[in-house]
Amino acid sequence: MWRSRFLRGAGCLLQGTGCIPCKPSHLPPWRYLSFYQPCLNPVLQRCFRAPTWYCFENHFRPAVALYFFRTLRKDAKSIIDFPAQHLTVTDIKQYLRSKDIHFHDGYSCLHAPSIFMQPGPEGSGKENYSLFIDKTTGQFLCKETLVEGSWEDLQDCIEVMLNESQTSISPDVLLGFPESMEEQEEREMEMKEVQRIWSSSMPFSDLLDEEVQLIKTMFQIGKLTNATLKKFGVRFFKPTKCLVFPWFSGRDSCLRGVKLLSAAMKADGRVVYTEATVPKISSYHNLFGLPLIGRKDSEVVLTGREVDSMAVNQATGLPSFALPRGVSCLPPILLPYLEQFKKVTLWLGGDMRSWEASKIFSRKLGLKRCSLIRPGDIQPCPSEALAQGRNLARIVKASIPAAHKSIVSFKQLREDVYGELVNVEQVAGIQWSRFPELNRILKGHRKGELTVFTGPTGSGKTTFISECALDLCMQGVNTLWGSFEINNVPNTLTVLDTMQHFMMGQENLSVDKFAVQDHIIGAFRKFATNSCCHVTLIIHPRKEEDDKELQTASIFGTAKASQEADNVLILQEKKLVTCPGRRSLQVSKNRFDGDVGIFPLEFNKTSLTFSAPVKGKQKLRKVKVDKNISTEEIEETELKEKREKALKPAKAKTVKGSAALKYTTDGEGNNQ
């Protein structure tokens, strides 16, 4: 990040001192090599000496420049990095105290005077605590200079500052050196696009009254006043008929990006809204409504959409933010902007997914200061509540506290049960678009569950689970897929570090491999529950006879795997059968509603997937499974049905020949 820019800038400064490092011809001009200084201080994991540059003016020019800490690299795939140890808030505090840096505790960050600004006069009491350090990750942000980076970056800057006997370090050195040519061109193009869209869009005050009413009707914001839209800087982009939501910087209120919201009418009459951001959402994060916050504001409402944020502010007068990615994510880099608020109310939407996201985000923000608004018929999303004429101030006031997570009142428990009964489809989870039969049995993909998946070797377990993960990822579900069997990048130490992470704490266990497996399964079970994350484990089965079906008891290891799992999936394969119907997917355990069953699963060699492409209006045939019927009887029934269809006269026939002529026949066999 900016640390690499700092070193590039430092290399350029050498040109003014007569020490011009000469680079090898195969390295780009910004690449420098370095050595790694071992650490002696357990708190400072990357302790190093004062910077030393080697210069040989009268003898020869150095081939590389040696600097004092980690290797800089542009291509992270080509260099192996050493795994970092787990960082705790105690380590951060101990390090800051060792460097005599004052700080005080915040809700999710530590507040410290910024080392990127000149301190005030001694004794003036004007220390600017604008440097925020994340308690969990160590990532930092200076709100005044917008310098950000990792914990290691901050350590490097502090060491440089102290070794040079300085009281601050200039942010110009860190941010002034340009990126690579490709990055610089991409950033400039994005900013030009932002300015083009913003300058071409029109404020609502410049539109005709008829146009304003049509736009408000199209985006269902009829209750929002023109004054509110002007207050938040919302505009309309006529070329694509989009609402334009600006992202202004919190420091100088300059335009840093825009979000475009478009509306489209489907054939069934539904209105579908699509979002697009410039620059791309992964390169910049912002809070909609940030410039409207005053220094003395102590309460804020977090929403998942920009229209919801405006509705809350208009109806209640409270400060309100909209998260850049809605309920999908709360970027850690935005936490410093929420530190000033003593109370944070999360009103992310009106569905169960928003409710689950609210509970997760409240842990990041600090449970003690967070309140949640439970979705329901009388408490929809803010924009809908405003359209229905509901009292938004009363809804916000009736929000429930997020803490304590271990104490649940009977009222909250009753509302939880009622919410699940009312929102059955949402509670069931995300539906697979490629596997409707799996939806019929499992009902959906739910957070906080552990799924165990087994099947014979070479039957297609990895292929099937990869397709399931791709299905969910395409629907916006954050998906992490990992395998120790498929090697995508040779980074051996990272794999070893991952293995060591899961093996830690097993020194006191017996050498029994089943005990080790039980320990690992227990760790995954705890992670899924505590992190509200769905974990799927592929476990090989025991060796069984080729003519026997796998059962839940066939899973390798003890019974702990199937006991801890919420769902157990078995990929059945008849190795002695070569005709269609040799594979089937069996759901042998379903803790959600108890439904179990089996359905055929065929591999499509054309698309290399298990999901058959749907042609026209054809639908997958549902298979009703009786517990007393085995898969052999199911396969025999399917083969019998296929034979009966084959005996019927064909409606279409293709003749292959030199001319490749095609003709059709009617029911009586006459050519047409």
Residue written as tokens 């899973």? Answer: 555
Of 8-12, 316-320, 410-414, which range is least confident? 8-12
* Same-fold call for 292-427 versus 436-503+512-611: no
* pLDDT the model gives residue 280: 81
Of 94-103, 363-372, 620-629, 632-641, which range is least confident? 620-629
pTM of the model: 0.60
Residue written as tokens 């059968």? Answer: 577
How is residue 79 written in tokens? 């260099």
| Separation of CA 538 from chain center | 23
DSSP 22: P
Sign, Cα dihedral of 469, 470, 473, 474 = negative
Distance CA 353, CA 359 (A): 10
Better pLDDT: 502 or 112: 112
Distance CA 277, CA 265 (A): 21
Q: How confident is the model at residue 628 (pLDDT cuts 50, 70, 90)?
A: low
Q: How many residues appear in the chain?
A: 672
Contact 649, 669 (CB under 8 A): yes
Q: What SS3 class is residue 71?
A: coil
Looking at the predicted structure, is the pLDDT value of residue 505 above 70? no
| Separation of CA 112 from chain center | 29
The H helix count followed by the E strand count for the chain is 19, 22
Contact 313, 320 (CB under 8 A): yes
583-590 and 597-600 strand pairing: antiparallel
Q: What is the pLDDT of residues 184-197, one digit of tens each?
A: 888 889 899 999 99
**Average model confidence (pLDDT) for the chain?**
75
Give, in degrees to the nearest 5, the angle at Cα 526 between 523 and 531: 120
Nearest to 13 by CA among 1, 24, 5: 5
* pLDDT the model gives residue 480: 78
Q: How confident is the model at residue 582 (pLDDT cuts 50, 70, 90)?
A: confident
Q: What is the pLDDT of residues 515-559, one digit of tens each?
A: 888 888 888 898 888 888 899 998 888 887 777 888 888 888 888
Q: Per-domain residue ranges for the chain?
A: 89-164, 179-284, 292-427, 436-503+512-611
Provide mean pLDDT across the span 479-494: 61
> For residue 125, is it left (φ>0), alpha (ψ between -120 and 50) or beta?
left
Q: What SS3 class is residue 672?
A: coil
Distance CA 432, CA 410 (A): 34
* pLDDT the model gives residue 222: 92
> For residue 220, is it left (φ>0), alpha (ψ between -120 and 50) or beta?
left
Nearest to 226 by CA among 257, 256, 202: 202
Partners of residue 276 on adjacent β-strands: 260
Element (H, E) at 320: strand 320-322
The answer, yes or no, to whether the previous bond of 86 is cis (omega within 30 of 0) is no
Distance CA 125, CA 144 (A): 18
* pLDDT the model gives residue 388: 92
Looking at the predicted structure, is the pLDDT value of residue 574 above 50? yes
Q: What SS3 class is residue 568?
A: strand
652-654 and 662-664 strand pairing: antiparallel
* pLDDT the model gives residue 596: 92
* pLDDT the model gives residue 80: 37
Nearest to 429 by CA among 442, 413, 416: 442
Residue written as tokens 């260099």? Answer: 79
Better pLDDT: 33 or 345: 345
* pLDDT the model gives residue 403: 76
Could you give the strand order of the β-sheet that contains 202-203, starting from the edge strand earlier in sequence?
202-203, 235-237, 242-248, 255-265, 271-278
How is residue 565 written in tokens? 């799992």
* pLDDT the model gives residue 484: 57
Q: What is the pLDDT of residues 437-471, one digit of tens each?
A: 999 999 999 888 999 999 888 888 888 988 998 88
DSSP 292: G
| DSSP for 171-202, written as a single string | HHHHHSS---HHHHHHHHHHHHHHHHHHHHSE
What percent of the chain shows pLDDT beyond 90? 30
The CATH architecture annotation of domain 436-503+512-611 reads: 3-Layer(aba) Sandwich (3.40)
Sign, Cα dihedral of 189, 195, 199, 204 = positive
DSSP 289: T
Looking at the predicted structure, is the pLDDT value of residue 362 above 60? yes
Rounded to 5 degrees, φ, ψ at 2 are: -70, -20
Distances in Å between the alpha carbon of 36 and those of 16, 147, 155, 163, 462? 27, 25, 15, 18, 39
Q: How confident is the model at residue 27 (pLDDT cuts 50, 70, 90)?
A: very low
Those residues whose C-beta lies under 8 Å from the C-beta of residue 37, and which sit 6 or more positions away, are 46, 47, 48, 49, 68, 69
Q: How confident is the model at residue 651 (pLDDT cuts 50, 70, 90)?
A: very low
Q: How confident is the model at residue 662 (pLDDT cuts 50, 70, 90)?
A: very low
Element (H, E) at 570: strand 567-573
The answer, yes or no, to whether the previous bond of 404 is cis (omega within 30 of 0) is yes
| DSSP for 496-511, written as a single string | HHHHHHHHTT-TTS-S
Angle between helices 492-503 and 513-530 (to 10 degrees): 90
* pLDDT the model gives residue 233: 94
Q: What is the pLDDT of residues 281-326, one digit of tens each?
A: 777 778 999 999 988 999 999 999 999 999 999 999 999 999 998 8
DSSP 328: G
Single-letter code of the amino acid located at 338? L
C-alpha torsion angle, residues 183, 188, 189, 191 (rounded to 10): 120
Provide mean pLDDT across the span 39-51: 35
Contact 349, 327 (CB under 8 A): yes
Partners of residue 260 on adjacent β-strands: 244, 276
Distance CA 376, CA 392 (A): 14
Burial class (CB in 10 A: 0-12, 13-18, 19+), 459: buried
Looking at the predicted structure, is the pLDDT value of residue 238 above 60? yes
Partners of residue 567 on adjacent β-strands: 451, 590
Q: How confident is the model at residue 32 (pLDDT cuts 50, 70, 90)?
A: very low
Rg of the chain over all Cα atoms, to the nearest angstrom = 31
Distance CA 103, CA 127 (A): 11
For 292-427, CATH number out of 3.40.1360.10, 3.40.50.970, 3.50.50.60, 3.40.50.620 equals 3.40.1360.10
Residue written as tokens 């409504």? Answer: 289
Partners of residue 507 on adjacent β-strands: none
Element (H, E) at 462: helix 461-474
